[in-house]
């Protein structure tokens, strides 16, 4: 698509301005009519006419002859200008054209919370060709010289020119060296139509370690250019736009404003002189809430687990008091530098064909059954509605039957043993399914569904980066419409332990954990550094009930609990295991979520490993490694 210079830098009069084709505005009939007939509206003269009522015939004759003489002179001069000398004027206009060279603005720098650079720019240059400025008799000569300088075959360059649509610029090469750019500029008068533009290259120092968080940029396409024109600040061919992650979320902040060089050239495309230069203005910098060193530690820990299990995974760390994201990771990952520098079709196809979908940000863009991590929600709903009291005890009988369907506690299923009477703290400590089955029967699906939504489930968390999914909090209407069945009591039992149709994202379960850790406030997650949290729900349950849930999570990480990797851990934590079954003959998803320190939580870490096995054995060690690094290096 050709750049419409007038839309960006205004008009320049006295010359023919071109960027591949002539653009001018000629006065139309309406303009001419206004020019010769204009009278001020509502203009009434209070002065009486002083024209005599009778004029002599001689005086009229003199006026007539004067008017005719002037008219003849004007017509003659107009004929001379338009017909006799018109060719000379046209030739002069054609010989003096103006080319517009764009200096693309650098994007703002992205920093972590401690000033470490996560995205920056390095100088870059690209080569374009405007066919309208390349005389056909010089095409072979120019192509040959470009081939020699750029190290590209003449066939490749000619193919790009031939594929070009009429009037559009051709991108010959991106990311050429400074030395090659200097050679091209030195020889610009012998290379008509060739244009070297400043085009900063985006660099991501952490690459795959933070690619799902930071995202990437790529060159704007036709649709994006057309859409931006409607918004008032159009993109141009060669501009880069944020496609994913922070790059997309903060596009309007990071994006700069291009500069331009107006260069007068003759009809052969040779430079005559420079007319005007405007400097590019870089975009504004952005500071994230993320800790880059923690992000790297999370990557190392999760990467080892992913390699061990052979399955994808995700991890997220956040501040439970502010909602600030401290680290966000999805594996397998990808090198976002490939996109910024111009990914090849082979590389892109390889990424797309990867069965583990490395482009998916699993923290926000993948939803899983949460398993027993959901018991935090069930416990809050039961206590807050009075369906159970802090002292309520329920006997674990190993198996509950509804008709011919059995609902077994995990401990009975694995070891054939029962756990006796348990209160809410003991049920969370042992992640006892029987206790929560009985609680679900008292709650009913409506209350459980309502509290799920109060905790922020079933809808997007509101984190700024794109690609988030809402997950699913199922109900009877959804089941009837989607599956064609009514809601059964067994569906409520399954939902109470995070199974069945319930689906949540890792960011949602981190938010649920943060809500318990901070005393009951649902806070919107954010990737930007802030001290002012955005509270979505100020109180999902009263303090006493939240404290009971926290105590159960604390005991879960102590001897006798389910989170055995944390037994003897140097920092007291609250944690919850989750083993989300997804069908027979398929390994369950492994979950673990935790907050620490227990008495004054400052970090929440949530990890999920797809089809990896038990949460306590697979996910909990990853969280332990992350928290160990954090409390050693913070």
Task: Give one DSSP letter per residue of 70-139, joined into a string.
Answer: HHHHHHHHHHIIIIISHHHHHHHHHHSEEEEEEEPPPPPPEE-TTS-EEEEEE--EEEEE-GGGS-GGGH
Task: Tell me the per-residue pLDDT of 97-125, one tens digit each, with 9 for 90 and over.
Answer: 777 778 889 999 999 999 999 999 998 88
Q: How far is CA 459 from CA 380, 435, 453, 454, 511, in A?
A: 19, 28, 8, 10, 12
Answer whether residue 90 shows pLDDT above 70. Answer: no
Q: Establish if 618 belongs to a structural domain.
A: yes
Task: Tell me the per-residue pLDDT of 476-503, one tens digit each, with 9 for 90 and over.
Answer: 999 999 999 999 999 999 999 999 999 9
Q: Tell me, what CATH number does 335's domain have?
A: 3.40.710.10
Cα separation, 202 vs 217, in Å, equals 8
What is the DSSP secondary structure assignment for residue 282, as one 8-state letter? P
User: Average of pLDDT values for 619-623?
Assistant: 98
Cα separation, 184 vs 193, in Å, equals 12
Q: Establish if 224 belongs to a structural domain.
A: no
**Range with the poorest average pLDDT among 64-73, 413-422, 561-570:** 64-73
Mean pLDDT of the chain: 86
pLDDT category of residue 359 using cuts at 50, 70 and 90: very high
Q: Establish if 438 belongs to a structural domain.
A: yes
CB-based contacts of 471-477 (< 8 A; 24+ apart in sequence): 471/367, 471/503, 471/504, 471/505, 471/508, 472/367, 472/501, 472/502, 472/503, 473/449, 473/502, 474/449, 474/500, 474/501, 474/502, 475/445, 475/449, 476/445
Query: Residue 237's pLDDT is what?
Result: 78
CA 278 from centroid of its chain's CA atoms: 30
**Range with the poorest average pLDDT among 25-29, 386-390, 573-577, 578-582:** 25-29
Cα separation, 148 vs 142, in Å, equals 10
Task: Decide if 125 contacts 176 (C-beta within 8 A).
Answer: yes
User: Average of pLDDT values for 161-167?
Assistant: 70
Q: Establish if 628 belongs to a structural domain.
A: yes
Query: Residue 132's pLDDT is what?
Result: 77
Highest average pLDDT, of 15-29, 48-62, 271-285, 527-541, comes from: 527-541
Answer whether residue 197 shows pLDDT above 70. Answer: yes
**Between residues 1 and 28, which one has the greater pLDDT?**
1
Task: Decide if 449 contacts 475 (C-beta within 8 A).
Answer: yes
Q: What sign does the CA torsion over 612, 617, 621, 624 have?
A: positive
Cα separation, 502 vs 440, in Å, equals 14
Q: Establish if 132 belongs to a structural domain.
A: no
Domain total of the chain: 1
Cα separation, 281 vs 107, in Å, equals 9
Task: Decide if 133 contacts 269 (C-beta within 8 A).
Answer: yes
Q: Establish if 553 belongs to a structural domain.
A: yes
Cα separation, 81 vs 90, in Å, equals 11
Query: Residue 256's pLDDT is what?
Result: 93
Query: Residue 595's pLDDT is what?
Result: 98
Q: Establish if 203 belongs to a structural domain.
A: no
Query: Residue 66's pLDDT is what?
Result: 64
Task: Decide if 562 contacts 429 (C-beta within 8 A).
Answer: yes
Work out the percent of the chain whose per-residue pLDDT is above 70.
83
Taking residue 125's Cβ as centre, other Cβ atoms within 10 Å add up to 22
What is the DSSP secondary structure assignment for residue 597, as one 8-state letter? S
Beta strands in 199-258 (DSSP E): 201-203, 217-219, 240-242
**Between residues 460 and 194, which one has the greater pLDDT?**
460
Query: Residue 340's pLDDT is what?
Result: 81
Residue 217: helix, strand or coil by DSSP? strand
Query: Residue 530's pLDDT is what?
Result: 94
Cα separation, 88 vs 82, in Å, equals 10
Query: Residue 461's pLDDT is what?
Result: 97
**b/e per residue, 234-247, with b = 16+ CB within 10 A?**
bbbbbbbbbbbbbb
**b/e per residue, 298-319, with b = 16+ CB within 10 A?**
bbebbbebbeebebbbbbbbbb
Cα separation, 281 vs 288, in Å, equals 22
Query: Residue 128's pLDDT is what?
Result: 87
Query: Residue 48's pLDDT is what?
Result: 38
Q: Establish if 152 belongs to a structural domain.
A: no
Domain of 429 in residue numbering reads as: 292-345+364-633
Task: Decide if 99 contacts 189 (C-beta within 8 A).
Answer: no
């Amino acid at each position: 698509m050709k750049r419409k210079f007038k839309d960006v830098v205004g008009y320049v009069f006295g010359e023919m301005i071109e960027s591949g084709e002539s653009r001018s505005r000629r006065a139309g009939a309406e303009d001419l009519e206004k020019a010769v007939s204009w009278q001020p509206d509502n203009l009434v003269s209070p002065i009486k006419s002083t024209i005599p009522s009778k004029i002599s015939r001689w005086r009229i004759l003199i006026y007539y002859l004067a008017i005719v003489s002037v008219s003849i002179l004007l017509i003659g001069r107009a004929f001379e200008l338009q017909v006799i000398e018109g060719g000379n004027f046209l030739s002069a206009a054609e010989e003096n054209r103006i080319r517009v060279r764009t200096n693309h603005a650098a994007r703002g720098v992205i920093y972590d919370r401690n000033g470490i650079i996560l995205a920056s720019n390095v100088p870059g240059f690209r080569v374009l060709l405007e066919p309208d400025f390349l005389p056909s008799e010089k095409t072979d000569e120019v192509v040959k010289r470009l081939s020699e300088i750029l190290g590209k075959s003449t066939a490749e360059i000619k193919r790009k020119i031939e594929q070009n649509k009429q009037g559009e610029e051709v991108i010959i090469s991106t990311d050429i060296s400074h030395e090659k750019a200097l050679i091209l500029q030195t020889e610009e008068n012998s290379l008509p139509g060739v244009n070297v533009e400043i085009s900063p290259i985006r660099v991501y120092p952490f690459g795959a370690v933070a690619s799902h968080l930071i995202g990437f940029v790529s060159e704007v396409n036709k649709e994006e250019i057309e859409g931006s024109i409607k918004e008032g600040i159009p993109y141009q061919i060669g501009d880069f736009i944020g496609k994913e992650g922070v790059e997309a979320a903060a596009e309007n902040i990071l994006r700069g404003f291009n500069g331009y060089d107006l260069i007068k050239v003759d009809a052969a495309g040779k430079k005559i002189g420079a007319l005007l230069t405007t400097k590019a203005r870089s975009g504004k910098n952005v500071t994230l809430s993320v800790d880059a060193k923690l992000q790297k530690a999370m990557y190392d820990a999760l990467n080892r687990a992913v390699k061990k299990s052979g399955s994808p995974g995700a991890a997220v760390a956040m501040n439970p008091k502010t909602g600030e994201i401290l680290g966000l990771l999805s594996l397998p990952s990808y090198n976002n530098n490939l996109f910024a520098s111009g990914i090849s079709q082979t590389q892109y196809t390889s990424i797309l064909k990867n069965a583990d979908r490395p482009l998916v940000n699993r923290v926000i863009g993948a939803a899983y059954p949460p398993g027993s991590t959901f018991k935090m929600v069930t416990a809050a709903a039961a206590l807050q509605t009075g369906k159970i009291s802090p002292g309520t005890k329920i006997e674990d009988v190993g198996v509950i039957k509804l008709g011919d369907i059995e609902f077994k506690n995990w401990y009975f299923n694995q070891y054939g043993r029962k756990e006796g009477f348990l209160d809410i703290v003991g049920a969370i400590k042992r992640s006892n399914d029987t206790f929560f089955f009985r609680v679900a029967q008292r709650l009913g699906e409506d209350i459980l569904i309502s509290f799920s939504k109060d905790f922020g489930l079933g809808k997007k968390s509101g984190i700024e980066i794109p690609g988030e999914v809402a997950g699913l909090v199922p109900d009877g209407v959804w089941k009837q419409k989607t599956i064609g069945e009514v809601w059964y009591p067994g569906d409520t039992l399954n939902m109470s332990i995070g199974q069945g149709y319930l689906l949540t994202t890792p960011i949602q379960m981190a938010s649920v954990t943060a809500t318990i850790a901070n005393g009951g406030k649902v806070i919107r997650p954010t990737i930007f550094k802030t001290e002012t949290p955005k509270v979505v729900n100020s109180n999902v349950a009263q303090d006493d009930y939240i404290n009971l849930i926290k105590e159960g999570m604390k005991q879960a990480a102590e001897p006798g609990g389910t989170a055995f990797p944390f037994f003897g851990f140097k920092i007291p934590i609250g944690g919850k295991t989750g083993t989300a079954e997804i069908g027979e003959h398929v390994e369950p998803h492994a979950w673990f979520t935790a907050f620490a320190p227990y008495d004054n939580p400052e970090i929440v870490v949530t990890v999920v490993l797809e089809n990896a096995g038990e949460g306590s054995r697979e996910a909990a060690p990853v969280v332990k490694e992350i928290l160990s690094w954090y409390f050693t290096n913070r």
